[in-house]
Amino acid sequence: MTTRYTKDHEWIRLDGDVATVGITEHAQSALGDIVYVELPEIGKQVDQGGEAAVVESVKAASDVYAPAAGEVVAVNQSLDGAPATINEDAEGKGWFFRLKLAAPGQLDELMSAEQYQEFLKTLE
Protein backbone atom coordinates (compact mmCIF):
# COMPACT_ATOMS: atom_id res chain seq x y z
CA MET A 1 0.00 0.00 0.00
CA THR A 2 1.61 3.21 -1.16
CA THR A 3 0.72 6.61 0.22
CA ARG A 4 1.02 9.69 -1.99
CA TYR A 5 0.81 13.36 -1.01
CA THR A 6 -0.38 16.63 -2.57
CA LYS A 7 0.93 20.18 -2.21
CA ASP A 8 -2.41 20.97 -0.52
CA HIS A 9 -1.47 18.51 2.28
CA GLU A 10 -3.84 15.67 1.44
CA TRP A 11 -2.74 12.06 1.48
CA ILE A 12 -4.15 9.20 -0.57
CA ARG A 13 -3.49 5.51 0.05
CA LEU A 14 -4.48 2.94 -2.57
CA ASP A 15 -5.71 -0.50 -1.51
CA GLY A 16 -6.83 -2.52 -4.52
CA ASP A 17 -8.95 -0.19 -6.63
CA VAL A 18 -10.18 1.92 -3.70
CA ALA A 19 -8.16 4.78 -2.25
CA THR A 20 -8.51 6.35 1.20
CA VAL A 21 -8.06 10.13 1.49
CA GLY A 22 -7.30 12.42 4.43
CA ILE A 23 -5.21 15.41 5.45
CA THR A 24 -1.61 15.16 6.55
CA GLU A 25 -0.15 15.45 10.01
CA HIS A 26 1.31 18.80 8.89
CA ALA A 27 -2.15 20.08 7.85
CA GLN A 28 -3.90 19.10 11.07
CA SER A 29 -1.07 20.66 13.07
CA ALA A 30 -1.38 23.93 11.13
CA LEU A 31 -5.17 23.95 11.55
CA GLY A 32 -5.13 23.37 15.30
CA ASP A 33 -8.13 21.88 17.11
CA ILE A 34 -10.55 20.52 14.51
CA VAL A 35 -14.18 21.10 15.46
CA TYR A 36 -16.19 20.13 12.36
CA VAL A 37 -15.88 18.14 9.15
CA GLU A 38 -18.20 18.28 6.15
CA LEU A 39 -17.85 15.04 4.22
CA PRO A 40 -18.90 14.43 0.61
CA GLU A 41 -22.01 12.45 -0.33
CA ILE A 42 -21.50 8.79 -1.19
CA GLY A 43 -21.79 8.48 -4.97
CA LYS A 44 -20.38 11.97 -5.59
CA GLN A 45 -17.98 12.20 -8.54
CA VAL A 46 -14.91 14.29 -7.77
CA ASP A 47 -12.26 15.63 -10.12
CA GLN A 48 -8.56 15.58 -9.33
CA GLY A 49 -7.91 18.81 -7.43
CA GLY A 50 -11.64 19.44 -6.98
CA GLU A 51 -13.26 20.31 -3.67
CA ALA A 52 -14.36 17.16 -1.88
CA ALA A 53 -14.77 18.02 1.83
CA VAL A 54 -14.43 20.85 4.33
CA VAL A 55 -12.57 20.82 7.63
CA GLU A 56 -13.08 23.51 10.25
CA SER A 57 -10.83 24.25 13.19
CA VAL A 58 -10.90 26.90 15.87
CA LYS A 59 -8.63 28.94 13.54
CA ALA A 60 -10.08 28.49 10.05
CA ALA A 61 -12.13 26.50 7.58
CA SER A 62 -10.28 24.75 4.77
CA ASP A 63 -11.33 22.85 1.70
CA VAL A 64 -10.07 19.32 1.29
CA TYR A 65 -9.32 18.53 -2.35
CA ALA A 66 -9.47 15.17 -4.07
CA PRO A 67 -5.93 13.98 -4.86
CA ALA A 68 -7.36 11.94 -7.76
CA ALA A 69 -10.61 11.71 -9.73
CA GLY A 70 -13.19 9.12 -8.81
CA GLU A 71 -16.43 8.25 -7.09
CA VAL A 72 -16.88 8.58 -3.33
CA VAL A 73 -17.70 5.07 -2.09
CA ALA A 74 -17.37 5.59 1.67
CA VAL A 75 -17.05 8.38 4.22
CA ASN A 76 -15.69 8.27 7.76
CA GLN A 77 -18.96 8.70 9.69
CA SER A 78 -17.14 8.56 13.02
CA LEU A 79 -15.75 12.04 12.34
CA ASP A 80 -19.27 13.50 12.74
CA GLY A 81 -19.20 12.93 16.47
CA ALA A 82 -15.45 13.07 16.97
CA PRO A 83 -13.71 15.47 14.56
CA ALA A 84 -10.74 15.61 16.97
CA THR A 85 -9.85 12.11 15.69
CA ILE A 86 -8.15 13.99 12.84
CA ASN A 87 -5.87 15.78 15.32
CA GLU A 88 -5.10 12.50 17.06
CA ASP A 89 -4.47 10.29 14.01
CA ALA A 90 -4.57 12.37 10.81
CA GLU A 91 -3.01 9.70 8.62
CA GLY A 92 -4.88 6.76 10.14
CA LYS A 93 -8.26 6.77 11.91
CA GLY A 94 -8.80 10.40 10.87
CA TRP A 95 -9.35 9.56 7.18
CA PHE A 96 -12.11 11.49 5.39
CA PHE A 97 -13.43 9.46 2.46
CA ARG A 98 -12.71 6.59 0.09
CA LEU A 99 -12.64 6.85 -3.70
CA LYS A 100 -13.06 4.32 -6.46
CA LEU A 101 -10.47 5.82 -8.77
CA ALA A 102 -11.34 6.85 -12.31
CA ALA A 103 -7.69 7.07 -13.37
CA PRO A 104 -5.26 5.36 -10.97
CA GLY A 105 -2.36 6.72 -13.05
CA GLN A 106 -3.06 10.15 -11.51
CA LEU A 107 -1.38 8.91 -8.34
CA ASP A 108 1.93 8.80 -10.19
CA GLU A 109 1.77 12.62 -10.44
CA LEU A 110 1.69 12.99 -6.64
CA MET A 111 4.58 13.13 -4.18
CA SER A 112 6.07 10.17 -2.33
CA ALA A 113 6.53 10.45 1.45
CA GLU A 114 10.17 11.46 0.92
CA GLN A 115 9.24 14.10 -1.68
CA TYR A 116 6.53 15.46 0.62
CA GLN A 117 8.99 15.81 3.51
CA GLU A 118 11.34 17.72 1.18
CA PHE A 119 8.41 19.90 0.06
CA LEU A 120 7.58 20.75 3.70
CA LYS A 121 11.14 22.03 4.20
CA THR A 122 10.53 24.61 1.45
CA LEU A 123 7.58 26.02 3.44
CA GLU A 124 9.48 26.85 6.59
Residues 6+ apart with CB under 8 A from 112: 2, 4, 5
Distance of alpha carbon 102 from alpha carbon 24, whole angstroms: 23
Average pLDDT in the chain = 96
Given a cut of 80, is residue 1 above it in pLDDT? no
pLDDT band at 124 (very low <50, low <70, confident <90, very high): confident
Residue count (the chain)? 124
* Per-residue model confidence as pLDDT tens digits over 71-99: 999 999 999 999 999 999 999 999 999 99
Q: What is the CA radius of gyration of the chain?
A: 13
Position 2 scores a pLDDT of: 87
Domain 3-121 CATH (choose: 2.30.38.10, 3.40.190.10, 1.10.287.610, 2.40.50.100): 2.40.50.100
Residues 6+ apart with CB under 8 A from 109: none
Position 17 scores a pLDDT of: 85
Given a cut of 90, is residue 113 above it in pLDDT? yes
Q: Domain locations in the chain?
A: 3-121
pTM of the model: 0.96
100 within 8 A of 42, measured Cβ to Cβ: no
pLDDT band at 51 (very low <50, low <70, confident <90, very high): very high
